[in-house]
Amino acid sequence: MQVIFAFHGGPEEYARDGAHRKVARPDDCPICGKLGEMRAHGYYSRSVSAPGKIRLLLIQIRRFLCRACRRTTSMLPDFAQPYRLVATDTVDRYFSGTRDGADVNAWFEHLARYQKRFDERLLETKTALATAYDFGELPVEATGLWLVVCRTFDGARRFTARFAGDVGMTVFGIYDCHRPAGKSQNHTGNPLAHERTPHLLPSGHANDFSPRAPPRSAANLGSSVPQGVSQFIMTPKYVRPQFRSSCMHRIRKHLIAICRR
The whole-number pLDDT of residue 248 equals 66
Please state, in angstroms and rounded to a whole number, the distance separating the CA atoms of residues 92 and 78.
Answer: 12
The pTM of this model reads: 0.71
Angle, CA of 253, 25 and 89, to the nearest 5°? 135
Q: What is the DSSP code string of 228-246?
A: HHHHHHSSTTT--SS--SH
Per-residue pLDDT tens digits of the chain, which is 261 residues long: 899 999 989 999 999 999 999 998 888 998 898 999 999 999 999 999 987 777 899 999 999 999 999 999 999 999 999 999 999 999 999 999 988 888 899 899 999 999 999 999 999 999 999 988 888 889 999 999 999 999 999 999 999 999 998 899 999 999 888 876 655 555 443 433 334 444 444 444 444 443 333 333 333 333 333 333 333 333 333 334 444 455 666 777 777 777 666
Angle, CA of 20, 9 and 177, to the nearest 5°? 50
The whole-number pLDDT of residue 241 equals 42
Please state, in angstroms and rounded to a whole number, the distance separating the CA atoms of residues 19 and 236.
Answer: 33
